[in-house]
Amino acid sequence: MTSNPPTPLAALMPQPSLPATARLPLNRCNLPPVILGSLTFQQHPVPLEIDGVPTFHAKLFSALDLLATHGERAQLFTDYMTAHFCLEALEEAGLTPGRRKKKRANANYLRLVRGWSFDSDGREGAVLKHWVETRFGLLARHHGGCLYEPDSEAYHRYLAEGAKGLYATNALEAQLDLLYTYCQYELFRQHKDEAHLTLYRGINRFDEHEVLERRRGGRYRVLLNNLNSFTTDRERADEFGDYILEAAIPLPKIFFYNRLLPGLLKGEDEFVVIGGVYEVGISTF
């Protein structure tokens, strides 16, 4: 009788999971945080859906199905956002006319993604990271400092900036829900036969990320912040750090990319990626 070769020890080891300290017990999508934030999800992604959003906006997506070009769909989406959320008629959304009108008008989904591009540790970044926490259950790990300790100054500053960014706004988190859902719709149309995109991120220090496991060949299993900037251009990533982090990013983990809305944002190669546990490669250019 021929015996089977022994199973490699590495294959018997449990896959790194999302630590309990990096997740909430509940979220507002179709998979719990412990699953969507795990290494298994990176390896075998499935679509993510924020509760009720595709159904509530079904007419928008039916209309998008009829349009052949990305530019036409982007125009319809921005027009729909303007009309549905009364972005150019804020009194209809309940705004009392007065000195705060201009500030309130600027507090929309475009302002947030522009603000992220300028400073991911600013007020807009705090709002976006808070949105990821509530929708996907993945806790922010960094915002102008480590957020591991709830009593730390950085954590209290993060909470304050997020609260200020959401105060007196017009369904801002609902705008982000629809932006993510449209992004997923567009990615599916453009990448029907793909589950991942290879993206790059420049880093200055390896300890910017929480390393869960070191592997051979410059491979690591790391816990990323709950929201991160990546790029499709490896040379561009090199401008932002001495090391380049390369990862296969599941399409459902892409919150937004600048080409999604042509002409409205600069930095066309930026992708904003939802975090969790990832296997990555780290190298110098």
pLDDT tens digit string along 103-137? Answer: 555 689 999 999 999 999 999 999 999 999 999 99
Spatial separation of the C-alpha atoms in residues 45 and 37, rounded to whole Å: 10
In the predicted model, residues of the chain with pLDDT beneath 50 are 1-3, 7-13
CB atoms within 10 A of CB 68: 7
Residue 209: the pLDDT is 77
**Residue 285 confidence (pLDDT):** 60
How far apart are alpha carbons 252 and 230 in whole angstroms? 15
List, in sequence order, every beta strand (DSSP E) within 187-269: 196-203, 210-214, 219-231, 243-250, 254-257
Q: Considering only CA atoms, which of 30, 84, 41 is closest in space to residue 59?
A: 84
Find how far residue 182's CA is from the centre of its chain: 13
* Residue type at 14 in one-letter notation: P
- The reported pLDDT for the residue numbered 32 is 97
Rounded CA-CA distance 61/73 in Å is 10
Question: So what's the pLDDT on residue 7?
Answer: 46
pLDDT of residue 2: 45
Token pair of 135 as six digits: 């929708």
pLDDT of 273: 98
**Cα torsion through 31, 36, 40, 44, rounded to 10:** 70
In whole angstroms, what is the distance from residue 167 CA to residue 222 CA?
A: 34
Six token digits for residue 126: 């705090």
For residue 8, what are its two tokens?
A: 């490699």
Contacts of 195 (CB under 8 A, 6+ apart): 45, 250, 251
User: pTM, whole model, 2 decimals?
Assistant: 0.90
Burial of residue 49, with CB atoms counted within 10 A of its CB: 0-12 exposed, 13-18 middle, 19 or more buried: middle
* Predicted local distance difference test score (pLDDT) of residue 93: 56
pLDDT value, residue 94: 56
Nearest CA among 222, 215, 30 for reference residue 135: 30
Direct distance between the N- and C-terminal alpha carbons of the chain, in angstroms, rounded to an integer: 51
5 is written with which tokens?
């070769």
Residue entry with tokens 């795990």: 38
Q: How far from chain centre, in Å, is Cα 66?
A: 27
